[in-house]
Chain A
């Protein structure tokens, strides 16, 4: 199973609407692929908040409207922030019957909406048990950060480093939400509190954007990237049902399956994209994915392992923090970055000769996780 085309839009506060963003990413993916749009047998579309924010559901038919008279099967997948890695996973399951599939993810979060984005995003949590008590999304991650910091005796400074590194990476990515923003440690430290201990620079932004990839069951060109494995796992969503508040079971289970499938171990992975919707979640990801033991992730941040020139480069595109987090497009944007790096086409942010890359994309506070392992061909 191969990826033969990738495309995305810039992320940020954009003027284009939901269908226009989707179309731009699809056109870019088709331009990048040797295939034509008429070769595509089915489309999986990932979108989280089209209903509550943009008043648009039945989104597969909107994709069909952008592809007049193609009339192919199109399905929308929604698993909150993990929507697009899950869409990819489901598309891979369908490749047996349909040789060429496009997966496109999109989100339009800025501008006019039907309800506030904070309320809409909270729909990814347990509405009855948690949200009605005021547990908005940043607050849930704040509780996790507090547990982590007291359990391992670390200060907020490590989280500031995570934010700083991601912003620095985004300065090399012209499509990133914060490509134009110079961020200093001072700005990060002094940013306003959102939900203690997390401040503004611990949080990923509200972004608009779309990304698309095209997969096939046969190799199309030398620029193809091989999908070694994709797994998804789920977990209870409410923090009240978790034994361990500083780890996500779904990440552990899905990544174990991927490693078991392929015989690949974390030390063989050359580059990874993790789901840093909040800075704390990057630390937890590194541990759950087996790149270090629990409590050791702060060392990987401090010793420079995660830097583009380090041992385990993480989020070279700027991550959710600084590349941006247009929710339905995020998982595919991670794939876009790994494919670009494996092809050696990442320009200024190209790392040295990567062969294997991994993406981790989570939904809610770890209620869903999609892991994808990719290899250069």
Chain B
């Protein structure tokens, strides 16, 4: 994509906003057709281009704007390439819930240029969410950029504000009944083509879908905290989720520069089903006095190359959340390996919840 000043007849390869020659704003120049004016077959690998041979082509559009494009297909000089260069109309996103994940999601989507409607319960939480999102963005941007990004954000306390959204991601508390109510409401207010997604980390998509008028359009999109750093999204497929809904969800996650993985609806999906038994087992090791928590953390970090040990991670997630996911796993699979340890239950009832309460397995200031 080129960015051109029509007055000065100058173009940039970067999305510059202002022409430094005349001070006028710069417009993106879009092209759909390029002609191959040169091509070379490359036999020497380099970082990011390990697979050889490949072709590197120089292309030119009708205005004489050139660009370099790699391909594995061979072109002849003079070939015409049609590139889908029309700016893709970005989907409108709805987010329900302004908790930790909800506000991070809203902040991430607007930074990626998606018009986003955030639905909160009260005016007070709307104000809080706005200042939280403002702060998240202002850390990285100038005031002018922050303002322009915040233009993408609408905060509402009314479900009808979600009527035009293409994808709605629900990120409220992990409670099946509350989520079912929300999904029921959504099927009344959202347009028929809208995809209804949940950010649930372990609940059944199929059960949520059954509360709506469109189970084929219901899906799980499980993002991880912190959203801007964690690249994985679990795409969870319910019994009736359609292929179209699945591929639309994969496309949007890919467009967000994240890695989608596809998981059949099953309690805990992949990540939590692997993680929580590990945390539970680590607590058992501690209870049995086999090793200290510091040494168990070191074992996982240095022996398995995880960035955090199970106790550090459990404190970060929140011990109440760990307990609730373990309970869900235990209830659904009814296998002793998922049964929460006594120590975990005791800590949660003593309000030792991890980082957020100031103390979990470790103490925090």
Contacts and interface: CB of A to CB of B under 8 A. Distances in A.
B224 to A, nearest CB: 19
Interface residues of A, number: 28
Interface stretch (B17-25, B210-218, B262-270): B17-25
Contacts of A30: 20, 23
Contacts of A36: 21
A19 to B, nearest CB: 6
A23 B135 contact: no
B20 A27 contact: yes
B16 interface: yes
A226 B140 CA distance: 33
A324 to B, nearest CB: 12
A180 B136 CA distance: 10
Nearest to A55: B47
A38 B140 CA distance: 32
Contacts of B135: 180
A57 to B, nearest CB: 16
A67 B111 contact: no
Nearest to B13: A65
A10 B21 contact: no
Given A23-B16, A66-B12, A174 B140 contact: no
Contact of A20 (B10, B16, B141): B16
A31 B143 CA distance: 17
Instruction: Give the residue among B14, B20, B111, B140 with the most A Cβ atoms within 10 A.
Output: B20
Given A19-B14, A20-B15, A12 B20 contact: no
Interface string A60-80: 000001111100000000000
B16 A14 contact: no
Given A20-B15, A68-B10, A174-B143, A37 B20 contact: yes
Interface string A15-29: 101011001001100
Contact of B23 (A23, A31, A69, A174): A31
Given A27-B20, A68-B10, A15 B143 contact: no
Q: Is the interface of B mostly helix, strand, loop or mixed?
A: loop
Nearest to A20: B14
Contact of B140 (A14, A17, A65): A14
A13 interface: yes
A20 B20 CA distance: 12
Interface string B132-161: 000100111111010000000000000000
Nearest to A17: B14
B274 interface: no
A9 B142 contact: yes
B44 interface: no
Interface string B102-128: 000000000100000000000000000
A12 B145 CA distance: 13
Contacts of A179: 138
A128 interface: no
A190 to B, nearest CB: 5
A65 B11 CA distance: 10
B244 interface: no
Given A23-B20, A180-B135, 12 more contacts: A10-B141, A10-B145, A15-B141, A20-B15, A23-B14, A31-B18, A37-B20, A38-B21, A66-B14, A68-B11, A175-B142, A180-B138
Interface of B: 10-16, 18, 20-21, 23, 111, 135, 138-143, 145, 365
Interface of A: 9-10, 12-15, 17, 19-20, 23, 26-27, 30-31, 36-38, 65-69, 174-175, 179-180, 186, 190
Query: 4 shortest A-B CB distances, which residue pairs?
Result: A10-B142, A68-B10, A37-B20, A27-B20
25 contacts: A9-B142, A10-B142, A10-B143, A12-B139, A14-B141, A15-B140, A15-B141, A17-B14, A20-B16, A23-B16, A27-B16, A27-B18, A30-B20, A31-B18, A37-B21, A38-B21, A66-B16, A66-B20, A67-B20, A68-B12, A69-B10, A174-B143, A175-B142, A180-B139, A190-B365
